[in-house]
A and B are shown apart, each in its own frame.
Chain A
Amino acid sequence: MSGHVVVPVRIYVTVFLALMSLTALTTGVAYIDLGRWNTVAALAIAVTKMLLVVLFFMHVKYATGLTRVIIIAGFFWLGIMIALSLSDELTRGWEIVPKAWGTGMIMPFLSRFF
C-alpha cells in the first residue's frame, strides 16, 4: 500500500498547524450565535479535520483504491444505520396518508368501477 511513501516532515507540521487552527475555530464559532448553523459549522470543521488526519497522518492520500473503498464503505454503512433508523424515529408522528392523493381521492374514484 503506502508503506514506501515517506511524507516530508513539513507536510506533517503544516497539517498539525491546520488542525490546531481548526480546533480554535470550532471553539470560537461556538461562542457566536449562528442559530442552526452552529451545528453545521461544527460538523463541517470536524469533517475537515478528519480528512486532514486520514489523508496525511494515515497516508490515505498515497494509498491504493482498495484502502479508500474500505474506508468509504465503513462510513457508508454507518450512514445506512443512521439514515434508516432516523427514517423511523422522525416519521412516527406523521399522518398516515397525505390527503392529496390518498384514500380521499383514489378509493372513491376506483369504487365507481367495482
Chain B
Amino acid sequence: MAETAVHGAHAHPPGFAHQFEDIEQQREAGTLGMWVFLVTEILFFGGMFASYIIYRSLHYPAFEIGSHLLEVKFGALNTAVLICSSLTMAMAIHSAQVGRSKSTIIFYLILTMILGAAFLGFKFTFEWHRDYVEHIMPGFGFVFRPEWGSNAPQVEMFMCFYFFMTGLHALHMIVGLGVLTVLAIMTAKNRFSSEYYAPLEISGLYWHFVDIVWIFLFPLLYLIGGRY
C-alpha cells in the first residue's frame, strides 16, 4: 500500500490523505469540492427562492402585508451580526495563513461562534417567539386578522415562506456552529499550521455562503414595498 510516487516525496504533511499525490492536489480537490457543494446549496435554497418569487409576483399585496408584520430593526441587526461573523471567520483563516498562534485562531473562531449564536438567539427570541405569541406562525395557531381582508390566506403563505426560508437558513447556521466547534478543537490539538489549514478555509467558504443567503433574505423578506 506504500506510495511508489512519481514525485518521490515521502514526508507527508499532517492531514495528508493517500488517495492524493501531494498536499497541493488535496487542497485543490477540497476547495473544488466545497465550491461544488455550495452550488448544490444555491439550487437547494434556490427552489424556495423561485417559489417565493413566483408567489410574490402573483400575490404582491398580501406579501406586502406579510412583510410589514416583520420588524426591520431585528432583520438589520441580524444582518450586521452575520457580516461581523464573516469578518471574524476571515480573520481566523488569515491568522492560520500567517502562522499566528493557535490561541489567536481559536479566539476568532469562538468570536464567530458567539456572533452566530447571537444571530440565532435574536431570531428565535425576538422574532420567532413573538410571532408565535402573536399567532402569526403558520401551523401553530395562525389567526387571520380582519385588516388583511381577502388577502389573509396569502399572508399566511408569506409567513410560511418566512419561516421555511429563515428556518432552513438557521439550520445551516446550526450546522455551521457545529463545524466551527470541531475546527476549534482541531486547532487546539495543533492540527493546523501555515502549511496546512485547508479545513479552516473550506469551512470559511461554507460560513460565508450562509451569510450570503441571509444578505438576500433580509431585503426580500423584510423590505418588500418599503416602510414609508
Q: Which residues of B contact A39 (CB under 8 A)?
A: 224
Determine whether the beta carbon of B208 is less than 8 Å from that of A57. Answer: yes
Determine whether the beta carbon of B80 is less than 8 Å from that of A82. Answer: no
Q: Which residues of B contact A53 (CB under 8 A)?
A: 86, 208, 211-212, 215
A42 to B226: give the CA distance in the assembly, Å.
10
A92 to B43: give the CA distance in the assembly, Å.
25
A77 to B90: give the CA distance in the assembly, Å.
28
Answer whether residue B185 sits at the interface, using C-beta atoms and an 8 A cutoff.
no
Determine whether the beta carbon of B57 is less than 8 Å from that of A86. Answer: yes
Q: Which of B27-35, B127-135, B136-144, B173-181 contacts A (4 or more CB under 8 A)?
A: B27-35
Q: How far is the CB of B207 from chain A (nearest CB, A)?
A: 9
Q: Which residues of A contact B31 (CB under 8 A)?
A: 1-3, 67
Determine whether the beta carbon of B226 is less than 8 Å from that of A31. Answer: yes
Q: How far is the CB of B17 from chain A (nearest CB, A)?
A: 16
Determine whether the beta carbon of A30 is less than 8 Å from that of B227. Answer: yes
Answer whether residue B11 sits at the interface, using C-beta atoms and an 8 A cutoff.
no
A57 to B87: give the CA distance in the assembly, Å.
8
Determine whether the beta carbon of B215 is less than 8 Å from that of A81. Answer: no
Per the 8 Å Cβ criterion, residues 183-228 of B in contact with A are 198, 201, 204-205, 208-209, 211-212, 215-216, 218-220, 222-228
Determine whether the beta carbon of A78 is less than 8 Å from that of B226. Answer: no
A90 to B219: give the CA distance in the assembly, Å.
23
A30 to B70: give the CA distance in the assembly, Å.
13
Determine whether the beta carbon of A3 is less than 8 Å from that of B98. Answer: no
Per the 8 Å Cβ criterion, residues 24-83 of A in contact with B are 24, 26-27, 30-34, 38-39, 42-43, 45-46, 49-50, 53-54, 57-58, 66-67, 70-71, 73-75, 77-78, 81-82
Name 15 A/B residue pairs within 8 A (Cβ), A-sorted.
Answer: A1-B31, A9-B94, A12-B91, A23-B80, A26-B223, A30-B228, A42-B223, A46-B220, A54-B208, A70-B35, A71-B38, A71-B39, A74-B38, A78-B43, A78-B49
Q: Which residues does A use to contact B, with CB under 8 Å?
A: 1-3, 6-7, 9, 12-13, 16, 19-20, 23-24, 26-27, 30-34, 38-39, 42-43, 45-46, 49-50, 53-54, 57-58, 66-67, 70-71, 73-75, 77-78, 81-82, 85-86, 89-90
